[in-house]
Structure 1
Amino acid sequence: MTQFHNAFTLFVSLLVEAMPFLLLGVVLSSVLLVWVDERKLIKVLPKNPLLGAFMGSCIGFFFPVCECGNVPVARRFLMQGIPTSVAVGFLLAAPTLNPVVIWSTWIAFRGQPEIVLFRILGSLAIATIVGTVFSVQSDPKVLLHPRLAKRLKYLQQTAQPQEQSAASPLLQSGTFFLGGNQGSNVPLETVATQMPEALDLAQPKGFKQKFRALITNISQELRELGAVLIFGSAIAALIQVFVPREVVLSLGQGTITSIIAMMLLAAIVSICSTVDSFFALSFASTFTTGSLLAFLIFGPMIDIKAVGLMLSIFKPRFILYFFMLAGQLTFILALGYSYFA
């Protein structure tokens, strides 16, 4: 019973820690939905996959969300038709490349400014590379969750006459579209069988309508994404309790094994990127600097409690490839730092 009590305590801790940042991400996502014209946003983004992934990674600086809050924002980007490279770059880099995390890392490692610098540069490089790699897939719908792929297909179809139409078919989260003029939610199944004109999908106009649409979208996304966050937090808590941490830490004796151990630890503990620097600092006396760097880079990208959130965007196979590529690049960077820095 003690283990289950500890698991429940960890579960509540993870949930309390993550929920404010999920809420922040949902609010930002809803603001994009209601107040940002996706056509203008798409026009200013570079078409080149490499530049797009780099730009997406840098956008994280202006959206201070952690690995829980970045998922709804990335999903909104994809639903607005933004290239996959931009969304993937943001998804990987936003939890690290934001002022809050940079500041907390500096406070924790004030005596080792190189860790702060390499964390920023390493996260930016990995996010850009991964975003560019997955942009090779010409049809992003192949990578996406079937429900999201259907929405994106609908968006692409309605985007053909964009230049002549003033209406912007912004998409609602979950399985609904947002009916702007009426403030009502229209089931996706209805959208698939009826013409857009019959659904009154115009963008909300006026502050009251926009505010009502904002609250509606926030509540709906919280219901959808909050459920999978709870599920992911429960899994993370069970792993932390029933997989002894000593098993992981016992691997951290050499240069290579210490990097692997800290990457595994980062995935298991699922600690928020805003406070993970202080957690890593507690291992500074027993682990190499390269392994600490691996923890700080890999942890915000690969978070067990956020896997459920990612499943609302991508297919499971894509997430596996996503993790493998990010993990390999993190290992190479940390190993290079250990031998050459």
Structure 2
Amino acid sequence: MIIVMKAGAAKKEKDEVLKRIKELGYTPHVIHGTTRDVIGAVGDERGKLVLQSLESMHGVESVVPILQPYKLASTEVKKEPSHVRIADGVVIGGDQVVVMAGPCSVESEAQIMESARAVKAAGAHILRGGAFKPRTSPYSFQGLEEDGLKLLAKARAETGLPVVTEVINPETVDLVASYADILQIGARNSQNFALLKKVGQCGKPVLLKRGMAMTIQEFLMSAEYIMSEGNQGVILCERGIRTFETATRNTLDLSAIPVLKRKTHLPVVIDPSHGTGDHHYVAAMSFAAVAAGADGLIVEVHPDPEHASSDGPQSLKPKKFAAMMEKLKLFANAADRTL
């Protein structure tokens, strides 16, 4: 159920509503709107009619059932788009198209520092880089782990770029959160519910990637796992789904952008690198994503992709990334956004 508070409702009135929701056996989640607050009451569907009694409480305007299975992520709960603040001047979901860029894996200090300087100079807003790498083969490079996190922190200290990096199991969430500004949940872990709950409790923004065989509803239900633990800072990331097509690594589902924009208030980011698996197609898909309404991009950039430890074929060289960023401004302007 959604409990819509009256405009100007007093804090005491909100506190009384929150207390009553808990007494009825539900978990309250406060969503702050531009003119009034909305409280989502989440719990056992079978007894939700008892929440109708809240309509008689002071400060309550109405009590409305949520029809979608994903409650907190739904536009039924929050009509206006959510803005996820990452750092001073970096907000995902606002007027600015936010670009995250960097190598798939942190390989060495020289590599990540060169990458960070290059993407910063080209206009990127956030540095990406993997310290923990879940790989299809157990024999592939698995990442530098905490040493990689330390190198990302060093790159942030020099360039001022916030850091997004992947977390792959619940046991390392606190460790990764102590270094990163955004925790990334990869496609393979998008239905790792123990991990989703843990990142929901950590308080850091979460970049949630869509699983390679996930429906939109399943994707939003995964976001709901994070939000139900109290973390509203969820950023959705479309990174391509698995189809019968073999010309690209995945099939980048750009139609997911307008669909998600209609169904959820959460910001939507596109990953054209994993979506295509080929650096030749990354720029074109980036332009198309911004034109379709994406709030951001996450792009792989490597100073020497021919010798990259992972995903070299889909990584842009710094010069090509800079050229893409320059042209991307035109698409952002056409979409009434900034870069």
TM-score tier, shorter chain, comes to: under 0.3
User: TM (normalized to structure 1)?
Assistant: 0.23
Larger relative contact order (C-alpha < 8 A, sep ≥ 6)?
1
More strand by share: 2
User: TM (normalized to structure 2)?
Assistant: 0.23
